[in-house]
Amino acid sequence: MNQNSTAGARARRGAGHEPKRKRAREDRMTASRTTPKVPAKVYEPTSQEMTALEAQHARRQKEKNAPRMKVEMKGGAASLSFEHEDQGIAGTLLMEAIGTADFEFVDGLLGQLANAGKQGSVVNAKDLNFLLSVVKGIEPRDQMEAMLATQMAAVHSATMTFARRLNHVENIPQQDSAERAFNKLARTFAAQIEALKRYRSAGEQTVRVEHVTVNDGGQAIVGNVTHGGGHPEKARGNLMNTTYPFQKSPRCTATSKRTRKACQAPAVNGWTVCRFHGARGGAPTGKGNGMYRHGLYTQQAAALNSRLSDLQRESRALLRRLNP
Ligand SMILES: [Zn+2]
């Protein structure tokens, strides 16, 4: 081995002693000899691969097109921008991809994502784009879902950090701590998926009857009925483990004062709590039952206030854009 390495070193030194021009010419000659004149044969995918490629193409068509982010560090502070010629259009595309129409919201969310993807004090564009891709993949339909998606991305990234740490522990306390954190994060992620599922299907549980027309024959035509209940699903496997519809119905979100745990009673239809925790409670609503003392909190006043704050927000955003 020793001999080989000295021989290699001699060969290298020998190559170094050759005149440079000669070496260059030789390089060119070998290059022209090895470069084929005919174009390389294009690989033909198999029919199975073709199907997969077409499926992938269809998937890309469906994907909402949002630009990648670019990070520039200016004097310790990170400045984010889009990899796009028109920043305004890029921002709008991103807003569409994460289900909002509020630029302030996107702005804040991007800042939080950048912080979540930080390593030390440097914002990493690759990590930021990955987190953003996770959020976009969840396809949020409103700001609530976008916030949940952002938290899911952050939790996932932390989970993987602890998975890595768990692989490199050196003693039992380290292992315990990494394992605990990993476990908690993984459970949180599963709970977040559940929450998202519940939030998305919140509107599908109710039975809504819009028009009922009874003809002469006595047959009723009912429009737009979705069934939330019904008989239990046919039991396969374990007969003792049937899940009945009432077990799947949404639960009361209140916390029991006695046990300090979540109330387990089913929520009243159209409410998030059970009747014990205030469903159908409170004063009767409607114009006839209004509290007209000063008119500060009437619906009209509230609508006017919200319009005013919208205007303020818009004008602040505009001012910021005019003189950044
Ligand atoms: Zn309750």
Written in H, E and C, the secondary structure of 80-149 is: EEECCCCHHHHHHHHHHHCCCCCHHHHHHHHHHHHHHCEECCEECHHHHHHHHHHHHHCCCCCHHHHHHH
Q: How confident is the model at residue 225 (pLDDT cuts 50, 70, 90)?
A: very low
The C-alpha atoms of residue 213 and residue 224 are separated, in whole angstroms, by 13
The pLDDT score that the predictor gives to residue 202 is 76
268 alpha carbon to ligand 1 midpoint, in Å? 9
Share of residues in the chain with pLDDT > 70 (%): 76
191 alpha carbon to ligand 1 midpoint, in Å? 20
Three-state SS letters, 251-301: ECCCECCCCCCECCCECCCCCCCCCCCCCCCCCCCCHHHCCCCCCCCCHHH
The pLDDT score that the predictor gives to residue 13 is 47
Residue 45 domain flag: no
Angle between helical axes of 103-116 and 125-137 (0-180°, round to 10): 120
User: How high is the mean pLDDT of the chain?
Assistant: 78
Same domain, 148 and 249: no
Report the sign of the C-alpha dihedral through residues 75, 80, 82, 85, in that order: negative
69 alpha carbon to ligand 1 midpoint, in Å? 45
Q: Both ends of the chain: CA-CA distance in Å?
A: 65
Summarised one tens digit per residue, pLDDT across range 4-28 is 444 444 444 444 454 555 555 555 5
260 alpha carbon to ligand 1 midpoint, in Å? 12
Same domain, 157 and 249: no
- In three-state secondary structure terms, 320 is helix
Residue ending a domain, choose from 200, 235, 262: 200
Residue 151 domain flag: yes
Number of domains in the chain: 2
Domain range for 268 is 245-278
Task: Give yes or no for residue 49 having a pLDDT over 70.
Answer: yes
Task: Give yes or no for residue 182 having a pLDDT over 80.
Answer: yes
Neighbouring C-beta atoms of residue 221, cutoff 10 Å: 9
Residue 286 domain flag: no
269 alpha carbon to ligand 1 midpoint, in Å? 13
- The amino acid present at 78, given as its one-letter code, is A
Same domain, 159 and 256: no
State which of 192-201, 233-242, 304-313 shows the largest mean pLDDT: 304-313
Tokens encoding 110: 């991007």
- The amino acid present at 152, given as its one-letter code, is M
- Cβ contacts of residue 252 below 8 Å, gap of 6+? 262, 263, 264, 265, 266, 267, 272, 273, 274, 276, 277
State which of 194-203, 238-247, 251-260, 295-304 shows the largest mean pLDDT: 251-260
141 alpha carbon to ligand 1 midpoint, in Å? 29
Same domain, 184 and 266: no
Determine the distance from the C-alpha atom of residue 208 to the mean position of all C-alpha atoms in its chain, rounded to a whole number.
31
- Decide the pairing of beta strands 77-82 and 212-214: unpaired
198 alpha carbon to ligand 1 midpoint, in Å? 18
The pLDDT score that the predictor gives to residue 208 is 54
Same domain, 257 and 188: no
Residue 186 domain flag: yes
Residue 154 domain flag: yes
The pLDDT score that the predictor gives to residue 287 is 77
| Residue 147: strand pairing partners | none
Residue 51 domain flag: no
Cα dihedral: 303, 304, 306, 312 (round 10): 160
Summarised one tens digit per residue, pLDDT across range 126-147 is 888 888 888 888 888 888 889 8
Instruction: Give residues whose Cβ lies within 5 Å of ion ligand 1.
Output: 252, 254, 263, 265, 274, 277
Write phi, then psi, for 170 (nearest 5 degrees): -115, -20
Per-position DSSP letters for 65-76, written without gaps between them: --PPEEEEEETT
220 alpha carbon to ligand 1 midpoint, in Å? 37
Same domain, 99 and 178: yes
45 versus 78: the higher-pLDDT residue is 45
261 alpha carbon to ligand 1 midpoint, in Å? 10
196 alpha carbon to ligand 1 midpoint, in Å? 22
Residue 78 domain flag: yes
Same domain, 256 and 149: no
Asked whether 166 and 178 are in contact (CB, 8 A), the reply is: yes
The pLDDT score that the predictor gives to residue 307 is 92
pTM, to two decimals: 0.49
Residue 104 domain flag: yes
204 alpha carbon to ligand 1 midpoint, in Å? 22
